[in-house]
Structure 1
């Protein structure tokens, strides 16, 4: 059975600091400068059957007494749309949480960290991601030589303008994304065309700075998310023609056939 299209909608107020995860994989990590609405497909975070949503609220104001928007500084909704093109508002909510529901557990605190976890069954089919069959790994924040090499190889392909090497290193990522949205989203060829267009513009690549990289084991160590300790992306590049066109990459890696591969 082909997968259903599952979407998410996240709204946060300007003074919110929030980390959101689906199945322990990052969906959103604030802060930001103003009110933010983020939405799109969620299939690439999901697994068949039971799923887990985690919200770590590090800073947020109390919602207004009305309990209605804009009184809710955080709202997360996971839903399916029967026909997202022709009837995008005809949706079925799978899971929804508002910040007012979270703070009911600790009503005495005005501002403090909150941790919210919910487990729910999707009730619709999705394809199983490759990392579910990967072995668990014990990786600390410094990473391993193999992980550092995987990131260095990706950075080097960008710096050298080697689009074929870049696409080879990202092949599992593209295949996984297309698999997650089977028949519902882009094709591998269209993803490759986007990359070729970026390379054709002559990217200017920021230095890698390996010592600044931060490796975070997630999903029981089956996934390693790479970022920078200072909050910037692990790899950044911009085009010569349009400096506003920036590629920011915080790779996710998993072990496949004995090697760390970029899959997200």
Structure 2
């Protein structure tokens, strides 16, 4: 790979609900009941030059374990090869207070992240701009159903076809991932019991001028979810992002 790679690191404790967006697309949404510190790849969301990072914070109940601790949220963007000095950082309440602004929630903060050098064009930027309701279109629902049916019937070929754009997107940015397909096929062959498919519960949030649909369920359950038949404490579930390429909706993250 000729380009640099970037990661995000988030520190989030209870007493707030947070959403972090990169270039208008949410990469993190959570209301934690304990301290969380997620880390994840970020390059596939970024463009060369200026990128916008937005943080939305809303009040939430404090944790019963730490009832006197108020909200705290921080996001950092780091070079994956040099994680000592953040390229971007924003922290609540410090970043807000330093500007002399009130820190009461809800609030919106963030800033600009400059990425030097060239990056591959994000796949969603090649997608067409689409208007669609939050309940989704028949085409979008069918795309989710295709992934659901492939997993439910343990059809490896259909599953790989449904996930092909996601796999190639990550390989394009982060290099060959030979274990990803092996692990996926091992996972699909487990004795799963699928959560019933409910098209009426699906929600398609519109982002990036309609180039991106974030797929979730109104009930709060993952868009596609399964529980292991023999080990019911072991499950798999995911929300995901779709873009419309070559005339059809495809999962890309």
| Shorter-chain TM-score above 0.5 | yes
Aligned to 2:32: 32
Deviations 1:136-190 (A, max 9, x none): 11112011110011011111111111121111111001101111213xxx52x42
Return the offset for 1:238.
Answer: 2.4
Aligned equivalents of 2:112 and 2:209: distance in 1? Answer: 16
- Structure 1 window deviating more from structure 2 (219-228 vs 197-206): it is 197-206
Give 1:129 deviation, angstroms.
Answer: 1.5
Give the secondary-structure state (helix, strand or coil) at the position aligned to 1:19. strand
The 3-state SS of whatever aligns with 1:178 is: helix
Give the alignment of 1:82-231 within 5 angstroms.
82=81, 90-99=83-92, 100-103=94-97, 107-108=101-102, 110=104, 112-182=105-175, 186-187=176-177, 189-231=178-220
Provide the residue aligned with 1:14 in structure 2: 14
The 1:215–1:106 alpha-carbon spacing in structure 2 relative to 1, beyond 3 Å, is: farther
In structure 2, the residue matched to 1:79 is 78
TM, length-normalised to structure 2: 0.88
Q: How many residues align?
A: 245
* Root-mean-square deviation (Å): 2.2
SS at match of 1:220: helix
**CA apart distance, 1:76:** 0.6
Question: CA 1:195–1:109 in structure 2 vs 1: closer, same or farther (change >3 Å)?
Answer: closer
The residue aligned with 1:257 is 246
Whole-angstrom CA distance in 2 between matches of 1:212 and 1:81? 37
Q: 2:64 maps to which residue?
A: none
1:114-155 CA-to-partner distances (Å, cap 9, x unmatched) read 012422211244322211122211112011110011011111
- Displacement of 1:24: 2.0
